[in-house]
Structure 1
Amino acid sequence: MSAQQGCSIDWKNWQAEIPATLMFIVRDGQVLLIEKLTGIGQGKVNGPGGKIDPGESAEQAVIRECQEELHITPSNPVKMGELHFAMSDIPDIHCHVYMAEEFEGEPTPTREANPLWTKLSEIPFEKMWADDRFWLPQMLDGQKFNGRFEFDLEEIIWQDVQFGEDACALWLGCPLELAK
């Protein structure tokens, strides 16, 4: 089955309206997640992150978002992947996903988020976006990735996730079909 079969999105010409970031800090067999209190994804569990401001790099944005949401500063963030979300009810999102092992500060609740240290074996996928179960475990295991998802409200109606170093070529804008 081809990557495009069953998909209604023209991914070669797709443009996200919202550039965004996510951060997953892993330490001592746990990952730092948040309960999102405001904005897109309110009420869900996710990694800290948010919109990239004009003139800001994805790495600068993910650090700023962690400072705003949890009062922490990640050290040496590593880009692990990208997510492309074609959404039916909110603007489309292109998300840069990072991991880090160290940070400065103490995770603190804010008006935007409550911190949740979670065992890697107990990630609450039932409280997260539907796509997370298709890439987060592999990413936390050190695999780089590139994922594309088409959503109808909160239901995935099409998906394609690629793992490994070949997936990184997609960050440069190559269509999946050409990156293999």
Structure 2
Amino acid sequence: MDSRSVAKHVEDPEYVARPHKLYTLVFPVDTATSKVLLGMKKRGFGKDKLNGFGGKVEPHETIEQGAVRELQEESGLTATHIKKIGLLFFYFENDPVTMEVHVYQSDRYDGRPMETDEMRPEWFGVHEMPFERMWADDSLWWPYALENKRFVGRFWFKADQVTITRQELREVDSLEF
């Protein structure tokens, strides 16, 4: 298992033993307008869904460095400060690899959002999220983010990547493991 993984601190032994891949997810927030920047995924995993900006963490970087890099590559924004708000584990039917996703918010960044080959950015009110166009789990943990609560969630999806068959979600005091 990747030494940067925190799975051993929060998962059952059965799931810790599975291979994990590290991912990041960043939600830029404009506090002055109470809006969050989402991107319409144009290709690959999650195509045609709105989501935050993120992806795989490269072997040579920290998880936070991966988050900043992915945000810049996918939106044109360079985060000058990010705050970890959550940790999500995703298990997909017929896929032996667990997705370990470190979730961040950023209210300090440079640049302007721009469309890239992978994402088309769009601002939404933080209380008007288009959950019907997002991953099924987003509506479950987003209220924690709105209330500035840290969270850990585990979601089991059918192979259709839409249907959640099981879930665990809880507030935590800290995301430092």
Q: Is 1:26 the equivalent of 2:29?
A: yes
Equivalent residue, structure 2, for 1:102: 108
Per-residue CA deviations over 1:86-142 (Å, capped at 9, x if unaligned) read 111554200000011111011000010000100112100001111111101221321
Distance 1:11 1:34 in 2: 33
What stretches of structure 1 move > 3 A for 4+ residues in a row? none
Kept in 2: contact 1:31–1:119 (CA 8 A): yes
Shift of 1:62: 0.7
Equivalent residue, structure 2, for 1:17: 20
Equivalent residue, structure 2, for 1:116: 122
Shift of 1:81: 1.1
**Which consecutive unaligned segments of at least 5 residues does structure 1 have?**
1-9, 173-180
Indicate which of 79, 84, 87 corresponds to 2:89. Answer: 84
Equivalent residue, structure 2, for 1:164: 172
Equivalent residue, structure 1, for 2:99: 93
3-state DSSP class of the match of 1:24? strand
Equivalent residue, structure 2, for 1:62: 67
Residue identity in the other structure for 1:116: E
Residue identity in the other structure for 2:167: Q
Shift of 1:16: 4.4
State the percentage of identical aligned residues. Answer: 36
**Which consecutive unaligned segments of at least 5 residues does structure 2 have?**
1-10
Distance 1:76 1:141 in 2: 19
Per-residue CA deviations over 1:145-179 (Å, capped at 9, x if unaligned) read 000111112210000101131xx36x63xxxxxxx
Distance 2:41 2:94 in 1: 19
Distance 1:55 1:13 in 2: 28
Equivalent residue, structure 2, for 1:155: 163
Equivalent residue, structure 1, for 2:4: none
Shift of 1:55: 2.2
Residue identity in the other structure for 1:75: T
CA RMSD of aligned residues (A): 1.6
Q: Is 1:135 the equivalent of 2:141?
A: yes
Q: How many pairs align? A: 160
Distance 1:136 1:130 in 2: 11
Residues 151/139 of structure 1: CA separation in 2 closer, same or farther (3 Å cut): same
Residue identity in the other structure for 1:108: M
